[in-house]
A and B are shown apart, each in its own frame.
Chain A
Amino acid sequence: MKAISKRMRVWSLLSLGAVATALLLSLVMPFFSSPVMADEATKAATEAAPKVEMAKDIYFKTEGPVSGQPVPELKATDYPSYNLPYPLSENRILIWSIAQQHLYFGSFVLAVPIFCMIIELVGLLTKDPVMSKKYDDLAHLLVKISLTAYSVTAILGGLLLFSFITLYPDFFKYISSLFRPVMHIYALLFLAESGTLYLYYYGWDRMAHGFAKWVHACMGVLLNVFGSVLMMLANSWASFMMSPAGVDEKGRYLGNIWAVLHNALWNPLNVHRIIGNMVFGGGIVAAYAAYKFLAARNMEEKAYYDWMGYIAMFMAVGSLIPLPFAGYWLMREVYGFRQQMGITLMGGLLAWLFIIQAVLIGALFFSTNYYLFNGMERMRGAEKYQKYIKYILFLTTAAFLVWLTPHTLVMRPAELKAIGGQQHPVIGNFGVMSAKNGAVNTMIMTTIISFLLYQRSNKIITVKWEAWGNAALMAMFAVALVNNWWLAIYGYFIPANVRVGLSVPQVVGTLTTLFIGSAINIAMMRGSKLTGLIEWGKISVRSQYALFALAVSFTWLMALMGYIRSSVRLFWHVMEVFRDNSPWAFTHTIGFAANVMSMNVMAFWLFVLFVFWLGELTSKHAVAEARKEAARPVMAGGSE
């Protein structure tokens, strides 16, 4: 790749940034008309209309002119139906399924450009030309896969729109009356994103060198800017339904679109979704790589897809780490908006769904650890660390069992009588938050230990301070684990309001092991002797099923959490403003919801299989070169 000056890189970044800003500003400007014009408009309105009715914003508590119709009071007959057999007779099941598929594909096509942007940049910054090309080809392949998915997303989006118009006409009329300008901007952004995506993909080879390559990389940034703003606008519709703002108690628009957009849950939802998309996208790419690995006919292909699977897994799990914090923020804001919603989620009707979430998160930890254990097989010299696997597995399993133990047990009446209550005298103690915090932090730390061992599997450490380094690492983990368990036990003896604060030192301990532990480990590996290179492709078939397990757990988790977020509104289209008066306004049982989620998950993966197959039709030649290069062994740890 031809070297270019730093100045040109800066210019390319600045010019692309300016284009993005100008485009986005032009879309946002209509919201901020000049004060003079506003004054004139107000004056004219005052003269023309005898009196403007003022009302109070239900969330921001500010006064504003009533500028829209109140929410309609619907009857059961106002919901047109296709009279399909149960459960499709409920319009919401159709909407649920279509929206879920649209969100799955939407998440994938929003996540892949983020990965491409990162991988292309890593390729650009990698000095080794062979590795640089390898990363570049991987990024190119990922965009190719996402192109078909992009079309599917758009088609599903159209289907969702028509479904809303035909199945929930009054609701859609109301929502579109509020979000009218946002919807148009959304459509324009979609055009801009499509154009950028096609330029990004089709310009890949023509912009492969020198300054043009940097412009191309910046185009990846632009693509992500468009994608993220697009997603945020769509998020505002969902968050408005949960935490309405900018309207009065009758649902009448008060003339300030920013207030409608910037409702209580918008930003937490935005952050949570961006991170969630990355986790999900990583999971899909990992599954794709695993499937290709299993279908590979020669060692070159196996090596390439093994490497690809590792990178995707690494990105997915890496993105997973901040996700609980974003989730915590979202939940905190839910409680802040309506405590009753928080209670419905965590201690009421929907609380059992969080036990399912616990099982899914446990599956993610097990899959990741299992994959890393198997990954050690690629490296000679890893044997010395394999003896620790059983201890890691024991700790992870013990923590997982505590993590999924519910506070109250599912029992028959006779069992209930025998135990004397819904809480088991011994394991019932594991159902409380104190135990859960201890358990999840333990699982995270065992996974970190697995990763640190994986990093040093094929190396003999040569730094003089090896003994001190190892002692520091062991001491750090020992202190963090003991601190975590001690605080978990201590939490049983103090009031709940004080106990909540204990999670902070627990998380700090865990993050310390992650960041400081990784830093020490990397420092220790400097100048280390290799016992052997990573032999990509020489990994068990079972490990690829761990990647499948990771992907299907992510997909199910996304369906579950999406369901939880949406169903917390209970019998409201728009929380406490627009009541759902359809015959199916009740909340289904967990089992029913799980069945719909399962069908959605399976339908999605069949779709994905189709999309991958389509991509496969033309990609055979494109990756042939990359596969040859991928067969070359490299060092363990990080992305190489």
Chain B
Amino acid sequence: MTQGYLAVTILFSAIALFILGYNLPRVRGLLTAIGFYMVMTGIFASYSNWLPQTRGEVPPVIKMDIGAIDTMPTDKLSEMGETIIFGKVGGFAERGIGKGQCPLCHTFKKGDIGDRAPNLIGLGKRAAERIKDPKYIKADFVSTESFKGSGRATTAEEYIAESHACPACFVVEGFGTKGTNDRDSPMPVIHKPPIALSIEELIAVDTWLWYREGETPPSPKEIRAAYEKFIPEADRPKAAVPGTQAAAPPGPPIVLASDTPDQIVAKMGCFACHQIPGIALAKFGAIGPMLIEGYNAPRRIASAEYQARVKAGKAHAKTPKEYVMESIVDPNAFIVHQFAQKSNPLISPMIQDFATKFTYGGLEKIADYLLQQNCDTAKKDNLPGPPQENFATVCGGAAKAVSAP
């Protein structure tokens, strides 16, 4: 490693200065002092050169050039899609989460089991089969069309586009909102806030879904036509301006103390699973409990199940605030039994890496907010709660709301 030579040269130069100083008594002090400085510097430089040497490369810029989408090479379009789904090129291997937030619920690798949403492996082929499925043709779901007159999917790309634009138009068995008999979907509409992917971004996402399995994806024009079929013009979000990065949505990717509760819920995707009073986005989540922690948290801590976890050394909260914070950063500490995964009851279905996505201040902020929520605030927002633990079960009936302790 040639760069290490400089450090060694400094050390040898120091020795040369010592020898010179020994032979030149009049400047010995000066040369020895300089030599000593060089010895010290040389040691530090040598040590630094001995350590592992890694160069930090610059990731390629991925641009959302609306005009170029239709002519962009498939591999580039696929990279853009991977970035939107997983945060960066290569994010699939690292199981990252990008702007699209898809990995919050879906799995993508062979053998991975998703409890909240289907594994998307082989989606292209499956989509082509699904549109012929009698359950799809004779749909019995809360929505039967994306919008009045949109019609149903006739091709694989249209099926995927419809799934994004109208998740409740077809619900895969076992993945519906609990208590709806798989007639409604817990999935958010992808082109609407908070995810709000543009059609161009959705084209990239769909391209990746085919391309990563070595299949030829439909052309961008075909995918665009599919989305335009299911998203009315007024609802189409504007694509990012040319020059901005597709996977770098404005604002910090983590929760800061300066964020509002709405921003925190939007950033972390809490709305996908939870209903939270006072948060406009979080009205439909049905995978996790309704977050009325002013009411729930003290009861959870006092419960025998929680105390058993404390005894086992798995849970540590002593106050409601500690409970809420623990639930976020260590979701496996205690899992409310109605919401445990059948396949793995010891692992919470909740995202496991929130501990790396919250600043302490941000965590306190959302915990404080959730602790202000109770049956009254839930009633005010007419939140039904998830089927596993609905409002009536928790608060004793929608008609007679219970005040927080």
Contacts and interface: CB of A to CB of B under 8 A. Distances in A.
Nearest to B33: A291
A560 B253 CA distance: 28
Nearest to B333: A495
A249 B45 CA distance: 39
A371 B33 CA distance: 17
B48 A605 contact: no
B38 interface: yes
A340 interface: yes
**Considering the complex of A and B, which 7 residue pairs feature the smallest CB-CB distances, nearest first?**
A587-B56, A594-B48, A591-B49, A249-B250, A589-B53, A598-B45, A571-B58
14 contacts: A59-B258, A338-B253, A339-B359, A360-B44, A410-B52, A495-B330, A498-B316, A556-B40, A571-B58, A587-B55, A590-B49, A591-B3, A591-B7, A599-B6
Given A336-B256, A548-B40, 15 more contacts: A59-B258, A339-B253, A352-B51, A570-B58, A586-B57, A589-B3, A589-B55, A590-B49, A590-B54, A591-B3, A592-B3, A597-B44, A597-B45, A598-B6, A598-B7
Contacts of A593: 48
B241 to A, nearest CB: 8
A598 B3 contact: no
Q: Which of A359, A363, A497 has the most CB of B within 10 A?
A: A497
A487 interface: no
A295 B34 CA distance: 13
A600 B251 CA distance: 37
B254 A338 contact: yes
Contact of A595 (B36, B45, B58, B251): B45
B355 interface: yes
A590 B45 contact: no
A336 B363 CA distance: 11
Contacts of A340: 253-254
B381 to A, nearest CB: 24
B90 interface: no
B1 A591 contact: yes
B38 A602 contact: yes
Given A339-B356, A497-B329, A590 B40 contact: no
A598 B1 CA distance: 17
Contact of B37 (A552, A592, A597): A552
Interface in B10-34: 10, 29-30, 33-34
A49 B73 CA distance: 44
Interface residues of A, number: 57
B394 interface: no
B251 A58 contact: yes
Given A549-B40, A552-B40, A601-B41, A594 B359 contact: no
A336 B256 CA distance: 6
B396 interface: no
B36 A548 contact: yes
Interface of A: 58-61, 73, 249, 291, 294-295, 335-340, 343, 349, 352, 355-356, 359-360, 363, 410, 495, 497-498, 545, 548-549, 552-553, 556, 570-571, 576, 579-581, 585-595, 597-599, 601-602, 605, 609
A70 B57 CA distance: 26
B97 to A, nearest CB: 13
B6 A552 contact: no
Contacts of B38: 602
Contacts of A580: 58
A340 B353 CA distance: 13
A630 to B, nearest CB: 20
Given A595-B7, A602-B38, A548 B329 contact: no
B29 to A, nearest CB: 5
Contacts of B131: none
Contacts of B253: 338-340
Given A294-B33, A339-B359, A497-B329, A602 B7 contact: no
Contacts of A294: 29, 33
Interface of B: 1, 3-4, 6-7, 10, 29-30, 33-34, 36-38, 40-42, 44-45, 47-59, 61, 243, 248, 250-254, 256-260, 263, 316, 329-330, 355-357, 359-361
Nearest to B61: A579
A588 B49 contact: no
Contacts of B254: 338-340
Nearest to A295: B29
A556 B45 CA distance: 10
B33 A548 contact: yes
Given A548-B33, A601-B41, A336 B361 contact: yes
Interface core residue of A58, A59, A548 (most chain B CB under 10 Å) = A548
A285 B269 CA distance: 56
Contact of B258 (A60, A335, A352, A602): A60
Contact of B359 (A335, A355, A581): A335
B361 to A, nearest CB: 6
Contacts of B53: 589-591
Contacts of A545: 36
Contacts of A579: 61
A378 B164 CA distance: 82
Contacts of A576: 248
Contacts of B41: 552, 556, 598, 601-602
A553 B330 CA distance: 42
A200 to B, nearest CB: 30
Nearest to A367: B40
Contacts of A360: 44
A349 B44 contact: no
Nearest to B251: A58
Given A356-B48, A497-B355, A570-B56, A594 B250 contact: no
B212 to A, nearest CB: 25
A601 B259 CA distance: 42
Nearest to A409: B52
B48 A591 contact: yes
A294 B31 CA distance: 12
A520 B319 CA distance: 41
A42 B12 CA distance: 68
Contacts of B37: 548, 552, 601-602, 605
Contact of B45 (A570, A594, A605): A594
A338 B58 contact: no
A635 B138 CA distance: 99
Contacts of B48: 356, 590-591, 593-594
A38 to B, nearest CB: 25
Contacts of A355: 51
B87 to A, nearest CB: 11
Nearest to B41: A598
B207 to A, nearest CB: 25
Given A552-B37, A591-B49, A336 B359 contact: yes
Nearest to A570: B56
B346 to A, nearest CB: 16
Given A337-B252, A548-B37, A594-B48, A586 B58 contact: yes
Among B10, B45, B48, B355, the one with the most A-chain Cβ atoms within 10 Å of its Cβ is: B48
Contact of A410 (B30, B51, B58): B51
Given A355-B51, A548-B36, A337 B45 contact: no
Contacts of B259: 61
A61 B259 CA distance: 8
A560 to B, nearest CB: 8
Nearest to B4: A591
Contacts of B361: 336
Contacts of B59: 571
A327 B102 CA distance: 38
Contacts of B263: 61
Contacts of A59: 258
Nearest to A545: B36
B250 A337 contact: no
Nearest to A589: B53
B103 to A, nearest CB: 18
B296 to A, nearest CB: 22
Contacts of A585: 58
A157 B263 CA distance: 42
